[in-house]
Structure 1
Amino acid sequence: MGRRTLAVLLGVVVLGGYLGVAYLLYRGLVFVVGGLDPITLLVALLVGTFVSGYLSYRFGTRGLLRSLDARPLGRDRAPRLHGRIDALCESMELDRPAVFVASLGAPNALAIGSSRRGALVLDVGLFELLSADELTGIVAHELAHIERDDGLVRTLVYASVQTALGVALIVAAPVILALTGLGYGLTLITGRRDNLALRLRAALGAAVGLVVFVLTALARARSRRREFAADDRAATITGDPLALARALRRIERASQPRIGPFRIPVEREESAVERVLSTHPATDERVERLAERANGHRIPVE
């Protein structure tokens, strides 16, 4: 009897504590946004999201270059590459980006910055791995990202996703706390571990998780479309889609695990969730599209 009474009293304390915190959060939320009409609040959220996203992108670009230990690639060190970059930028009517080299840990190339303040970072391994035409295809692909400000747009998209998730969590927090308090409190009071409040909390948590998954999947889907679009743009500018296809295949193989001097082919089927959450399409799909384009069958990409 003593233990049961203690459990009931503890249940009442837990229930009151959680409900009290939930109420304080609710009152705080009402105090912060209660005086704003929905349109004003939406505009404030949008402006704050885009401003913070832009500042993060602008200053994050410099920080990324420092973190990569990227070094400027002078024209005297790679005159042919610089000449090809000049020609590509002229064809694309694009301000010429700064060119850097870095040890990225794997053969890769990165487009950083916007169309007005762009930077191209090349892994040092690309110069030995790729032929001149293949390297030109990779460079054209990255320039296509700079041309369309894909990096900035991607940052703003992810900032918007984070804002939406933050708003959803803030709105749901008082309800989640209240349901948690009810669930735990009733468990202690009744001695039963399953009750409606805990089931509702689990359902609400699952709903929030589903929202996170859907918003992330939509952002990643856009990223994959932009990769296809950059492939198409590079193929158009260079007139050699097969060179880009060969470069993508070489990079994929060079990125495989190595034991001593031997590379170990890794053949693993991606799950549906991995494909949905991937930022890049499968190399096989990109190579196939480029090969079809070389044969005169252009697949449009929005």
Structure 2
Amino acid sequence: MSRGPTALVSVLMGVAVFLVYAGLSVASALVLWAVVLDPPPLWVLSVVFVAAVAVFGYVAHRLGTIRLLTSLESTELSRGRAPTVYRRLERLTAEMGLRQPQLLVAEMDAPNAFSLGTPTQSVIVLDSRLFSLLTPDELEAILAHELAHIERRDTLLQTLVVTAMRLLVTVVFVLLAPITLLLLGIDRGTAWIAGRPRRRQYGLAWVFQRSIQFTLGALFSVLTLGLLAYSRKREFAADSRAAEVTGHPVALARALAKIHRASIPRRGILSLLYIEQKQQRPPEWLSTHPETERRIERLLARADRPVESPAVARLRR
């Protein structure tokens, strides 16, 4: 085929591609314009958004719980294996007015515990090493801390907030769809006309999309920092609630110190890597948890003990 017909085909394809994208842009603009001309009442939009957040957030919470428990290969802790633990758990749930959660045991990377769910349906996962590492009072304090998270619906609320943030981003992209489609049509149409349809384009659509992504990314980052701050605050709140319910803030402080110490490699290259990582760790405002030392100090202050306790002193070594 000669160069002339090939160029003509490229021009026709470019025009066709532009018309397709322009048609999609006009169609989406008409739909949005119809909504703007006759918008539903604000309370209807609010109800729809809240309902969407609730449904998608609950589904994400449930599916996330299932995936996490499956990945850990956790097993249920029977009452026969740990009758003392169950007696203390029953006392705590009765004191806090909660339904007794399911207790699971798993092999984690480090001694730890976490809770998932709501006051009516929840689960607490314990690393198997906690039973040999902690005393009964210290293990009870850890259970009380996790029950405090369940009482406050912390994991569910966090999932709902993240879901709301993602839905807001989706709504922004939908509102900007007509402009994005039109710019994509211009870029890809001109690429066909220029005879380079497969060449990566950095045209108007690319600039527009990157600008929107940068703006939304900055907003998302600010919201994420706020969510991290709330996460650290809820850890302090759970510590306080656990100390209130058990009446033994020092037991929780000792448990936190032991768990922290057990997570530190004792010798060899791993120990050196941990020291280097600790020296270069990011600031606390980028973490979901406050520093263990700060949590211990607050608990000891609550118990009217000197802040510089042996547990805190060991953490500072």
> Shorter chain as normaliser: what TM range?
0.7 to 0.9
State the 1:81 CA deviation: 1.3
Indicate the SS of the match to 1:164: helix
Match of 2:301 in 1: 292
**Alpha-carbon separation, structure 2, partners of 1:220 and 1:93:** 28
Tell me, in whole angstroms, the C-alpha distance in 1 between the residues paired with 2:41 and 2:16.
32
1:113–1:157 CA distance, 2 compared to 1 (3 A): same
Q: Secondary structure at the match of 2:279?
A: coil
Match of 2:217 in 1: 209
Deviation at residue 124 of structure 1 after TM alignment: 0.4
Alignment correspondent of 1:244: 252
Please report how far the alpha carbon of residue 22 of structure 1 lies from its aligned counterpart in structure 2 after TM superposition. Answer: 6.7
Structure 1 distance, partners of 2:282, 2:188, is 37
Cα gap change, 1:18/1:150 in structure 2, threshold over 3 Å: closer, same or farther? Answer: farther
Change (3 A) 1:177 1:251: farther
Given that residues 18 and 188 in structure 2 are in contact (C-alpha distance below 8 angstroms), is that contact kept between their aligned partners in structure 1?
no
The equivalent of 1:24 in structure 2 is: 24
- 1:173-216 CA-to-partner distances (Å, cap 9, x unmatched) read 54456567778999999xxx999997766544321211111222
Q: 1:221 is matched with which residue? A: 229
- Structure exhibiting the larger radius of gyration computed from Cα positions: 2
**Counterparts of residues 1-302 of structure 1 (less than 5 Å):** 21=21, 24-25=24-25, 27-28=27-28, 30-31=30-31, 34=35, 36-37=39-40, 39=42, 40-176=44-180, 202-257=210-265, 263-264=271-272, 265-266=274-275, 267-272=278-283, 275-295=284-304
Which amino acid is 1:96 matched to?
Q
Q: Which amino acid aligns with 1:209?
A: G
Distance 2:120 2:168 in 1: 29
Secondary structure of the structure 2 residue equivalent to 1:118: strand
TM-score by length of 1: 0.77
Alignment gaps of 5+ in structure 1: 1-9, 298-302
Structure 1 contact 179–201 (Cα < 8 Å) conserved: no
SS of aligned partner of 1:113: strand
Amino acid at match of 2:226: L
Instruction: Give, in angstroms, the shift of residue 170 of structure 1.
Output: 2.7
Matched to 1:271, the amino acid is P
CA distance in 2, matches of 1:150, 1:240: 23
Asked if 2 retains the 8 angstrom alpha-carbon contact of 1:241 and 1:294, the reply is yes
1:121 Cα deviation from its structure 2 partner: 1.0
- Coordinate RMSD, CA, aligned: 3.7
SS at match of 2:118: coil
8 Å CA contact 2:110–2:263 kept in 1: the answer is yes
TM-score (norm 2): 0.74
Identity of aligned residues (%): 39
Cα-to-partner distance string for 1:128-153 (whole Å, 9 max, x where unaligned): 22222221111110011111222222
Structure 2: runs of 5 or more not aligned = 1-9, 195-200, 307-317
Structure 1 residues 15 and 194, CA, compared in 2 at 3 Å: closer, same or farther? farther
Distance 1:270 1:19, change over 3 A: farther
CA distance in 2, matches of 1:199, 1:48: 31
